[in-house]
Homo-oligomer: A and B are copies of this chain.
C-alpha cells in the first residue's frame, strides 16, 4: 500500500529531499557510456568550455535527480509513470564534489479525464547545490493513483 496518493500532493507545497555527492569517477563513467563530449571527460577540455571545468553530462544530472526523486518520495507513492517533462533547464554545471539536494514544488494537480482513478500532478523539480545555486530545473508531469477516485480534488 503506497504512502502517497495524488491527494497527498498539495498545490504550492515545497519540500526538499535527500542528497548525493557527485564523484569524478561517476561523471567519467556516465560520460563514457552516454555523452562522450570532451568537457565531460577531460579536465583541460572542461576548463576551456563554457562549463569552466570537468562537469557532469546534463543527462547525468537528470539521472541523479531521478534517483533523489525515487528515494525521496516516488517509490512510496502510487506513481504510474510520467508522460514527459515540459521544461528542462541546465542552469549551472555539476562538478566533482558537488553535493546535490532535491527541491520539489507542487504546481498543479488534477484528475485525468480518461482515467478517473488517476491524477496528474505537475511538479517543479530542482537540483540544488549547498550554496543554493540551482543546477537543474525541470517541470514534470507524473501520473499518480488517487486514494478516492470518486471524490473531487481539493
Contacts and interface: CB of A to CB of B under 8 A. Distances in A.
Q: What 5 A-B pairs are tightest by C-beta distance, nearest first?
A: A34-B63, A84-B89, A85-B88, A35-B66, A59-B63
Contacts of A80: 49-50
B81 A50 contact: yes
A107 interface: no
Interface of A: 30, 33-37, 39, 49-51, 57-59, 62-64, 66-67, 70, 74-75, 79-90, 143
User: Oligomeric state, in number of copies?
Assistant: 2
Given A35-B63, A37-B79, A81-B90, 10 more contacts: A30-B63, A33-B67, A35-B66, A36-B75, A37-B74, A49-B81, A62-B62, A83-B90, A84-B90, A86-B86
10 contacts: A34-B66, A34-B67, A35-B70, A36-B70, A37-B70, A37-B75, A62-B62, A81-B90, A82-B90, A88-B88
Contacts of A81: 37, 39, 49-51, 90
A85 B50 CA distance: 18
Contacts of A88: 84-86, 88
A34 B30 CA distance: 11
A82 B70 contact: no
